[in-house]
Amino acid sequence: MMEHFLIQLLGLEGIQFAQADWLWGIVIWPVLWATNALLQARGRTVVDDLVQLQAQRQLVVKHALIHKMADQPLATARKTWTFSGKKFVLNLVRGLMVSFLCIALAQPQKEQPLEPLPQQKTVRDVVFVIESSASFLLPDYQVNGQSETRMNVVKAVLDRFIADLEGNRFGIAIYAEQAYTLMPLTSDQTAARLTLKRLKPYLAGRVDYAMGEALGLALKQTDLGIQAAQLKQASVKGKQQAGTSDHQALKRVVVLISDGLSKPSRLPLADAVNYAQLMNVPIYTIGVGAGSADADKRLYTGLLYQPLESDSLKAIAKATQAQYFEVGSGQDLNRVLQQINAAEGVPFESDQRPPQHIPLMHIPLQAAVITLFIYLLLSLLLSGGLGSINTSRTLSKVNQSTEGTS
């Protein structure tokens, strides 16, 4: 209440007090001032710093005939309260000093406007399953008018894609005759991009027998990623909250980049599809290469064998409620990845930054120190004047008394 009253009275809009209880000290000093004046009006002696200064400066005189006044008391004037402008000024300055000190102890501060948060992003766990069989050596893509292999085009596009999606987690699995996890899920973009450079044809064999196994590895990676997120969330907010929110906090996506099956998968694709359906993970499939030998001769310049087999890729995407894309250039592949990025993911809510405050305590503290110096200076000056007046009055009374006795 005192805080709001002071803010409205002084027009301190936007100012807050961290320890507002100290502001009640501003009300205490007028009460003490009024109590002091009331006691003086009733004739009681009130000792304060001003009275002490006057007493120290008051002259004590030894009179030669003071012994004749032993049996005759001095005439004392009746004490009456009179308004003193000098004391009023001193009390006013003292009150200002106390007020500034109380305001400083209340720790005034001004809330600093925060910079606008960056545009809301979407985050997800994306695991790329990339075929690395011999067919990815075929130079059937054109980049800047020159032929480029499937593998190099895929690596270049994925590198740009990962670099542009900060905050996402990426994993890479490869397959040919065997299936391997080249990189587990990580949010380290630099590590993901460096891992892409290691990707080469023949790295997992020559023939694509292990598509089903690679999909199983990718799905397992997404499941492990969710478990890790749950543990991390549980350590902060508790297991109950983590269990209800983590599955909604991260979207899991598998992207299969392949030219289809040249040989049946060693692990039936139906098993991998059932696993994906159980986990509710869509598998987007991207077909690379020409659809037939005739198309190879007319549209491309390097497909010597294994044209694109799209039936298996379409079936996987449809069964997992995803989409199948067929690309004929690096630009097409980049557009496809952007479509997947727009279709999947949940809003990423960044942590709310605590409000920042600018401390203003130094302003009333400086004012209190300046007021203290003014008060001390006025006390010395005014107490000297009052002391000289009291001294002259005392001497005149003593002289009058001695004259009467003589």
Q: Is the dihedral of CA 67, 68, 71, 76 positive or negative?
A: negative
- pLDDT score, position 52: 62
Least confident of 76-80, 164-168, 196-200, 340-344: 76-80
Cα–Cα distance measured from residue 288 to residue 386, given in angstroms and rounded to the nearest whole number: 104
299 pLDDT band, cuts 50/70/90, is: very low
- The end-to-end CA distance of the chain, in Å, is 68
> Is 222 in contact with 125 (CB distance < 8 Å)?
yes
Across the chain, what does the average pLDDT equal? 73
Instruction: Identify whether residues 134 and 251 lie together within a single domain.
Output: yes
- 325 located within any domain: yes
- Percent of the chain, pLDDT > 70? 60
Question: Residue 320 above 90 pLDDT?
Answer: yes
Instruction: Identify whether residues 400 and 252 lie together within a single domain.
Output: no
Q: Count the neighbouring beta carbons within 10 Å of the beta carbon of residue 183.
A: 22
Instruction: Identify whether residues 55 and 73 lie together within a single domain.
Output: yes
Pairing of strands 146-148, 141-143: antiparallel
- pLDDT score, position 276: 92
- pLDDT score, position 218: 92
Closest by alpha carbon to 156, among 352, 337, 398?
Answer: 337
Could you give the number of structural domains in the chain?
A: 2
Instruction: Identify whether residues 151 and 228 lie together within a single domain.
Output: yes
Three-state SS across 204-239?
Answer: CECCCCCHHHHHHHHHHHHHHHHHHHHHHHHHHHCH
- 354 located within any domain: no
What is the average per-residue pLDDT within 356-373? 85
Instruction: Identify whether residues 249 and 327 lie together within a single domain.
Output: yes
389 pLDDT band, cuts 50/70/90, is: very low
Which of 348, 371, 388 terminates a domain? The answer is 348
Q: At 275, which CATH number?
A: 3.40.50.410
- 355 located within any domain: no
Instruction: Identify whether residues 96 and 127 lie together within a single domain.
Output: no
- 88 located within any domain: yes
pLDDT tens column, 60-78: 556 566 555 555 555 444 4
- 210 located within any domain: yes
Ranked by mean pLDDT, the top range of 32-41, 168-177, 323-332, 334-343 is 168-177
- 381 located within any domain: yes
Instruction: Identify whether residues 261 and 303 lie together within a single domain.
Output: yes
Residue span of the structural domain in which 307 resides = 121-348
Closest by alpha carbon to 222, among 258, 256, 251, 182?
Answer: 251
- 72 located within any domain: yes
Q: In which residue are the tokens 């006390």 written? A: 379
- 12 located within any domain: yes
SS3 40: helix
DSSP assigned state of 361: T
Position 238, amino acid:
G
Instruction: Identify whether residues 209 and 233 lie together within a single domain.
Output: yes
Instruction: Identify whether residues 7 and 46 lie together within a single domain.
Output: yes
Instruction: Identify whether residues 98 and 81 lie together within a single domain.
Output: yes
What is the average per-residue pLDDT within 284-303? 58
Which of 348, 372, 395 terminates a domain? The answer is 348
What is the average per-residue pLDDT within 307-332? 84
Instruction: Identify whether residues 125 and 89 lie together within a single domain.
Output: no
Instruction: Identify whether residues 296 and 189 lie together within a single domain.
Output: yes
